[in-house]
Structure 1
Amino acid sequence: MSVTFNDFNLQTDLLEGIKSMGYKQATPIQAQAIPHILESKDLIACAQTGTGKTAAFLVPTLSRIAEGRFDFTSTLILVPTRELAKQIDDQVEGLSYFTGATSIAIYGGNNAQNWDQQKHALTSGADIIVATPGRLIAHMQMGYVKLDQLKYLILDEADKMLDMGFMDDLMKIINQLPKERQTLLFSATMPPKIREFARKILQQPEEISLSISKPAANIDQQIYLVYDQQKLKLLQHILKDVEVQTMILFTSRKSAVNEIVRALQKMGFEADGISSDRTQDERESILQRFRNKQLQVLVATDVMSRGIDVDNISHVLNFDVPQDAEDYVHRIGRTARAGTKGMAITFVNERDQERLVKIEKLIERELPKITLPEAIGESPVYDPAGNRAKFSRDKGGSGGGRGGNRSGGPRREGGSGSGDRNRSSKSRGERPAHVTAGAPATEQAPRVAGAPSTATGEAQKKKKRRKKPFKPKNAEGAGNSTPPAPAPAAE
């Protein structure tokens, strides 16, 4: 029996907004979560991307905001990436059109105007704050963020936030919130660390777990065993014979994005890429062009992959194997929707063969390994266990490098190796606030008039302790020596 939004006891104006957004029947996660949330219960929910989980927490929360008519910020939504913050903020705007509820997206970027706009919104007050943890902490440290009356805390994609190293930042924020609140935690996966985290912040939560759905049968999944230096040549060979309408190409290497985009453009494709090196305005503009079908191929890094919500994707290509098997399912699930056909192509180097084994175990299916064309060269031998032992030895002996990359190609975004999940997932623009001195800290407040310097006290102490080069008093030109140039400030 299908469930509609009229079956819930929702505020009347909100129902008008839901209708205008084209929502009719509730998805399984919505049907299960909304009643618990309306009953003011804490909730831990496991549901993958594309199941409607955003509306599952926004609809009941907006209903209660519309009924409560609060004159303070009642809701905080914490998310791992800027793209997801913007996406949720846009959805709030659509759903709350008739209720008058307001929201503000708080995310990083060294743009003084962006900072001032966020500060103004925070001081003026908004019903809902949607924020990345590091940027929110930067504002909270300035003293004007008022969350002392907060009623609802929502953590979306909690597993991704922990993978990106935001645990300390999350706890720093949560410890400043009222103890009496409703807390909702949504996660695509439910590893032990998420359950341990949930025990710390939730009170007698209800639990919902929707199993990871298998990829649609109408997705043509293709696996190519390939060395890293063969990938671009293979990409060009494949796309000669494939009719691409719209494609998302995922890569784990930030520095590979421009190289891939140039290769695609030489082949005649309208292509562009998003990574943490692009400004927020650039990323939003590129995504909008892709949604409007002005771009044929979008190249995105792992960090940017969540928050890309585009329909009618004909092809997904994994230039690198995703870190988690669940992410593979999420990625390829962007194609072959609504009964259409789609193709998912994945390049697997020697090091990533073990990840392919985990993917096949999850989807309960062995995927066909396609032989490389003669023009590309020979494939690596498919030997996951042997390669695991090989690269374990290499890591212990050499202490660096990405073992599967024979070409000495660019490193994965944010990290030095595929085994370091915390570092490899971090976006440069969404780095946790507790990073060590000397690391880029773009989540800090930009240098605007009246704002404190971003240089840390420890760094200043080190500069004070730095000695001038010794020069004898009778040296030629004594007293007129040029002092050493100061060390550059951290970005």
Structure 2
Amino acid sequence: MDQRSSFPAFICLTMLRATLSTAGRACVRPLANKIALQRASRQLDFHHGQCLCLQFSFLVPARSYGTGSTRSSNQFTFSTKYPRQKKLGGIGKGKGKTAKTAKRKRAGKQTRIPGLALPPRLRLATFKHGQPKQAAAKKPPKPEVKSGGKIGERQATAVQVGRRTPGPRRRIETAQSKRAQLAKEEEAAKVARHTAKFALASTQYDTARPESLAVLKDRIRQSRFETMGLRPEIVKALTEGLGHVRPTEVQALCIPQALENPYNPILCAAETGSGKTLAYLVPVMNQLKQEEEDSALADKSQRESSVDIIEAITADGRTVSATSGLSSIRKIRRPRAVVIVPSRELVGQVTKIAKEISHIARLRVVGVHSAIPRHVSESMVATAPVDVLITTPGALIHLMESEGVSLSQTRHVVVDEADTMFDEGFGSELKKVLAPARAFASELKRPCQFVFVSATLPRTVVRILDRDFPNITRITTPSLHRTLPRLRQAFLRIDGSTTKQQMCLDVLKRAVVDDSRIIIFCNTRRSCGDLADFLRRKEYDAVDISSTVDVKERTKALARFAQAPSKGDEEGDHVGKPMIAVATDIASRGLDTTNVGHVILYDFPQTAIDYLHRVGRTARNGAKGRATSIIAKKDRKLAMMIEQAVKRKTVLT
């Protein structure tokens, strides 16, 4: 090939290379494929003979962009696996803009020309619009805010800050956030009300000096029943009948105060297992015997000159005269003293203790609750006068409305477990009992003593009593709101490696060596049933004593549970398997559980009051005991507070 013939070929080769290089680098055409390259080669097809012999494959070498691989000459430079971006709104809408392009345009950024979507590492070059720059637009003037309506103000504010009016999605998110914030506020208010309701009140011994406490404890140690001014038959019933040598702390403080002021209202608060039942029964029964003696001396001459009128005939055939002896103070369906307790089990327990005293003191004690048949309870109050009636609020209201029982002769009203009785469950029923007793005392112009007994002292109870009984005498012990000194307490936290039931089994395996009676507390009746079934499947002697169980079955289980362990239990089939009672808070209020050596809190209580009641089922009357709490994540805050108070030996709040 000579110089003349090679010159046109050189020009053709140079132009073709420039064209193909430009087509390879640019991303502006929608179809960068073999057809486009062939079209470009046809445009450069000259009529010179030497140019027609050029081959397309010889002029277009393969190139790699960032992948590190070598392609063959027939592969495309652009990858076709990335699809084109879809238009917004279909044909004729959005002018072919993509969602990403529209978003960038709103943000004031440059957009790229639509074409094949390549990842950044495969792009050849970046091309910008060739449009001339426009002058910056002036800011629009601030709109005038009209005085009428809040909508105009919101729109003006939105324009001023450069924001658009929120769309439907934005409004939904705002409403959801408002509802979430409102729910948080309601939950915080609920917690505050719960805390205020169950917060413990302060006592006179919380900030007392050690010297004064030492003097008080020394006086309590020197106290005896014989030096309190009790009647001989009452002292004999305590020492010989019950076997008590000296009074407990609460008895040494409460009994003398009640005897000195027999008709003033009294609030007696002491820790669980301290002997509060005798602290209020002894002065009440002592006062009843004193009233009988005073009435007998005053009416002696009148009884000798009067004619006897039979008022009633007892079950054993004895007649009760309306004018003889004690007829002025002892009448049919007119109890002289009423003791109100929250549960049926507590009715049986208090009645048993009162009858042991009445055997020597010669007083008639009757215990009535809703589980007793109606004809039986009617015969109890209608066949003979009742000196001490022990009942629940519901049963007493039934007797007053259906059986004609009246509180016109009642001189003593005792409310045991006052922190529970003033709760929402018993508050309305308790008012129906206290109101007529106070009304009769005011109309008949005779005194009536009201005694309120509790193991804890919530602020709500203190406010109610201060409002209804302004001159009430408050008697508390130095150990109030503190755990018992001989009680060992453990707090076990659940992690992801175990379950609550398995942790309860581990606690029982370690407890079987020393403890023969165990109480496990749950927060719900369903939880009690499930746990009792689970323990029985594991061959433990477990009984459910929640309110879902029949009354007769629960009474039998409690009677068997309250019995002291015997040799037969240790040598029987249940060696190493303690008798277990699974219960709700119904078993934490006032029940005598002296034989319980271990308390397990399967469900942690919701308040410090419930914690004190539950752990107070063991280590009673100076005995040793253990309490183990299983703590879930939601209970850690209250458990940490109680644990710190236990370690520091301070008052629980």
TM-score (norm 2): 0.52
Residues 1:323 and 2:606 are matched in the alignment:
yes
2: distance between equivalents of 1:315 and 1:27?
Answer: 23
1: distance between equivalents of 2:624 and 2:455?
Answer: 25
* 1:192-211 correspondence to structure 2 within 5 Å: 192-202=459-469, 204-210=471-477, 211=480
Q: Which residue of 1 aligns with 2:455?
A: 188
* 1:310-459 correspondence to structure 2 within 5 Å: 310-336=593-619, 341-365=624-648
1: distance between equivalents of 2:339 and 2:251?
Answer: 17
Q: 1:164 to 1:365 in 2, by over 3 A?
A: farther
1: distance between equivalents of 2:366 and 2:638?
Answer: 38
Larger Rg: 2
Post-superposition shift, 1:286? 0.5
Residues 1:5 and 2:5 are matched in the alignment:
no
Q: Deviations over 1:95-147 (max 9, x none)?
A: 221112112222223x6xx2221122222331111121122112211151121
Kindly provide the amino acid, as one letter, of the partner of residue 36 in structure 1.
Answer: Q
Post-superposition shift, 1:57? 0.7
Identify which range, 265-274 or 154-163, moves more after superposition. Answer: 265-274
Kindly provide the amino acid, as one letter, of the partner of residue 272 in structure 2.
Answer: T
Post-superposition shift, 1:89? 0.8
2: distance between equivalents of 1:201 and 1:46?
Answer: 18
Kindly provide the amino acid, as one letter, of the partner of residue 362 in structure 2.
Answer: G
Q: For 2:499, which of 202, 225, 230 is the aligned residue?
A: 230
2:330 match: secondary structure = coil
1:247 match: secondary structure = strand
Q: Which residue of 2 aligns with 1:160?
A: 420
1:163 match: secondary structure = coil
Question: Could you tell me whether the CA contact under 8 Å between 1:325 and 1:358 is conserved in 2?
Answer: no
2: distance between equivalents of 1:227 and 1:13?
Answer: 62
Post-superposition shift, 1:307? 3.4
Q: For 2:377, which of 118, 121, 141 is the aligned residue?
A: 118
Question: Could you tell me whether the CA contact under 8 Å between 1:151 and 1:181 is conserved in 2?
Answer: yes
Kindly provide the amino acid, as one letter, of the partner of residue 530 in structure 2.
Answer: E
2:626 match: secondary structure = strand
Residues 1:132 and 2:392 are matched in the alignment:
yes
Post-superposition shift, 1:81? 1.4
Q: Which residue of 2 aligns with 1:105?
A: 367
1:322 match: secondary structure = coil
Q: For 2:582, which of 277, 287, 299 is the aligned residue?
A: 299
* 1:233-244 correspondence to structure 2 within 5 Å: 233-243=502-512, 244=515
Q: 1:225 to 1:22 in 2, by over 3 A?
A: same
Post-superposition shift, 1:272? 0.7
1:169 match: secondary structure = helix
Kindly provide the amino acid, as one letter, of the partner of residue 214 in structure 1.
Answer: T
Question: Could you tell me whether the CA contact under 8 Å between 2:417 and 2:590 is conserved in 1?
Answer: no
1: distance between equivalents of 2:602 and 2:350?
Answer: 28
Q: Which residue of 1 aligns with 2:238?
A: 18
Q: Deviations over 1:357-409 (max 9, x none)?
A: 3423543549xxxxxxxxxxxxxxxxxxxxxxxxxxxxxxxxxxxxxxxxxxx
Post-superposition shift, 1:297? 0.9
Kindly provide the amino acid, as one letter, of the partner of residue 357 in structure 2.
Answer: L
Q: Which residue of 2 aligns with 1:150?
A: 410
Post-superposition shift, 1:222? 3.2
Post-superposition shift, 1:319? 0.6
Gaps of 5+ in 2: 1-220, 293-328, 442-446, 570-577
Which segments of structure 1 move beyond 6 Å, counting only runs of 4 or more? Answer: none
Post-superposition shift, 1:227? 8.0
Q: 1:175 to 1:28 in 2, by over 3 A?
A: same
Question: Could you tell me whether the CA contact under 8 Å between 1:228 and 1:349 is conserved in 2?
Answer: no
2: distance between equivalents of 1:269 and 1:189?
Answer: 33
Residues 1:245 and 2:516 are matched in the alignment:
yes
Q: Which residue of 1 aligns with 2:254?
A: 33
Post-superposition shift, 1:333? 3.6
Q: 1:27 to 1:340 in 2, by over 3 A?
A: closer
Kindly provide the amino acid, as one letter, of the partner of residue 119 in structure 1.
Answer: E
2: distance between equivalents of 1:107 and 1:75?
Answer: 16
1: distance between equivalents of 2:519 and 2:559?
Answer: 14
Q: Which residue of 1 aligns with 2:282?
A: 59
Q: Which residue of 2 aligns with 1:425?
A: none
Q: Which residue of 2 aligns with 1:81?
A: 343
2: distance between equivalents of 1:26 and 1:7?
Answer: 11
2: distance between equivalents of 1:239 and 1:36?
Answer: 44
Identify which range, 6-15 or 215-224, moves more after superposition. Answer: 215-224
Question: Could you tell me whether the CA contact under 8 Å between 2:491 and 2:631 is conserved in 1?
Answer: no
Q: Which residue of 2 aligns with 1:287?
A: 558
2: distance between equivalents of 1:162 and 1:248?
Answer: 26
1:105 match: secondary structure = strand
2: distance between equivalents of 1:327 and 1:53?
Answer: 18
Post-superposition shift, 1:201? 4.1
Q: Deviations over 1:337-371 (max 9, x none)?
A: 577653321111222223213423543549xxxxx
Question: Could you tell me whether the CA contact under 8 Å between 2:585 and 2:610 is conserved in 1?
Answer: no
1:76 match: secondary structure = strand
1: distance between equivalents of 2:543 and 2:453?
Answer: 31
1:87 match: secondary structure = helix
Question: Could you tell me whether the CA contact under 8 Å between 1:261 and 1:271 is conserved in 2?
Answer: yes
Gaps of 5+ in 1: 367-491
Count of aligned pairs between the two proteins: 363
Question: Could you tell me whether the CA contact under 8 Å between 2:487 and 2:627 is conserved in 1?
Answer: no
1: distance between equivalents of 2:369 and 2:495?
Answer: 38
Higher helix share: 2
Post-superposition shift, 1:164? 4.8
Question: Could you tell me whether the CA contact under 8 Å between 2:486 and 2:625 is conserved in 1?
Answer: no
Q: Tell me the percent identity.
A: 28
Question: Could you tell me whether the CA contact under 8 Å between 2:588 and 2:617 is conserved in 1?
Answer: no
Q: 1:303 to 1:310 in 2, by over 3 A?
A: closer
Post-superposition shift, 1:43? 0.8
2: distance between equivalents of 1:338 and 1:195?
Answer: 27
Q: 1:32 to 1:161 in 2, by over 3 A?
A: same
Higher relative contact order (CA 8 A, sep 6+): 1
Q: 1:102 to 1:228 in 2, by over 3 A?
A: farther
Q: For 2:483, which of 193, 196, 214 is the aligned residue?
A: 214
2: distance between equivalents of 1:348 and 1:233?
Answer: 13
Q: 1:171 to 1:275 in 2, by over 3 A?
A: same
Q: Which residue of 1 aligns with 2:547?
A: 276
1:344 match: secondary structure = strand
Question: Could you tell me whether the CA contact under 8 Å between 2:516 and 2:597 is conserved in 1?
Answer: yes
Q: Which residue of 1 aligns with 2:433?
A: 173
Q: Which residue of 1 aligns with 2:77?
A: none
1:148 match: secondary structure = coil
Post-superposition shift, 1:25? 0.8
